Amino acid sequence: MRVREWDPLAATDSEIQSLVETVNAVLAVDLPDDPPWRDVQVRDYLAETMPGERRISWVAEDDRLAEGDSGIFAHVNLLLLGDIGVLEVLVHPRLRRRGLGRELVAVAARRAYLEGFSSIGVEAIGSTPAIAFYESLGFEKEFVEIRSVLMLSKVDWEALGEMAGGISAGYRVEFHPGGVPDDLIEAYAQAKMEAQAEDNDTDLAPRSSDPQRLKDSVATLHRRGLKPYIVVAIHEQSGAVAGLTEVVVPAQHPERADQYDTIVVRDHRGYGIDRAIKARMLFELRAAEPDLLEVQTWNAQHNESMLKVNADLGFQSDRDWYEYTADVAQLVQSLEPTD
């Protein structure tokens, strides 16, 4: 195998197709119930980043292939954001346990070190070989989330309608496909900022809580092939965004949507907002995305209130999702080849 730095924007169509085939081979083994990826806007998905962030990629390919042919069997992303580098490593199942994943982590860790980053993080999925792999490299567990999945075919829509209408007087619920409208951007960002100040958990994908960054993040979602939908609860007396929930439908797997933030601002809790906005979102998704089959969401283990809301809506706990971190200098040293 030959490992080389790789620019998805300059990649050939056959390289992108080969990578998608490897992604689907990994899903078939590690997450067999997840929908396979389609070769739709994958190049954009890998290339686009938020302002101020950079992504560097490497691939491992079969060096026995003729020039012009493509066989990508492993891939690593290093996303540089804030004061941390975030890894994503993918190795075809038939090439695991041969040192290829370790080589890819070493390449990315050396680059993070040269870029001046002191910490590197990675997400690892429970009940997959990734857990033992990262722990063997010295990564330490920092945070655990629970992934839950809702199958739309099993939703009790009558009960959901009661939840959607269960919000207290003095609030109205609005649906906005495509992102946050300009007249809500300031209030929406303020709600996110208050939630971020309250949340002390490690988060490898920080919220966009600045108005301009929020606009940029929505534009980036569209460029990456992620169609955003939001539902907000507005406090009618003040005009404040009292609660919000966000879902994106990826072009790469449009059968399963990803739930992003759900926030209820502290001063507005206890008025049925959380259930109402999430229930309304499901009704809107059913109408807007007729091919959608499932929605997946992630919640911290200690977030019992939101886990209860999700259970009431019909979400079923699926997998634990772990966030690990490692000291970059120590990681580079431990992965140096020995004679």
**Predicted confidence pLDDT, tens digits, the chain (339 residues):** 899 999 999 999 999 999 999 999 999 999 999 999 999 999 999 999 988 899 999 999 976 654 544 589 999 999 999 889 999 999 999 999 999 999 999 999 999 999 999 999 999 999 999 999 999 999 999 999 999 999 999 999 999 999 999 999 999 999 999 999 999 999 999 999 888 877 655 455 555 668 888 999 999 999 999 999 999 999 999 999 999 999 999 999 999 999 999 999 999 999 999 999 999 999 999 999 999 999 999 999 888 999 999 999 999 999 999 999 999 999 999 998 765
DSSP character string of 185-254: HHHHHHHHHHHHHH--S--SS----SHHHHHHHHHHHHHTTEEEEEEEEEETTT--EEEEEEEEEESSST
- Judge whether 2-146+323-335 and 156-313 match in fold: yes
User: Given the structure tokens 């879902």, which residue do they identify?
Assistant: 247
Angle separating helix axes 157-164 and 273-288, nearest 10 degrees? 130
The dihedrals phi and psi of 86, each to the nearest 5 degrees, come to: -115, 125
Identify the H or E element spanning 113. Answer: helix 100-114
Domain residue spans of the chain: 2-146+323-335, 156-313
Q: Return the CATH fold of 2-146+323-335.
A: Aminopeptidase (3.40.630)
User: Given the structure tokens 């490299």, which residue do they identify?
Assistant: 137
Closest CA to 296 of 318, 323, 274: 318
DSSP 333: H
Q: Return the CATH fold of 156-313.
A: Aminopeptidase (3.40.630)
Distance CA 218, CA 182 (A): 12
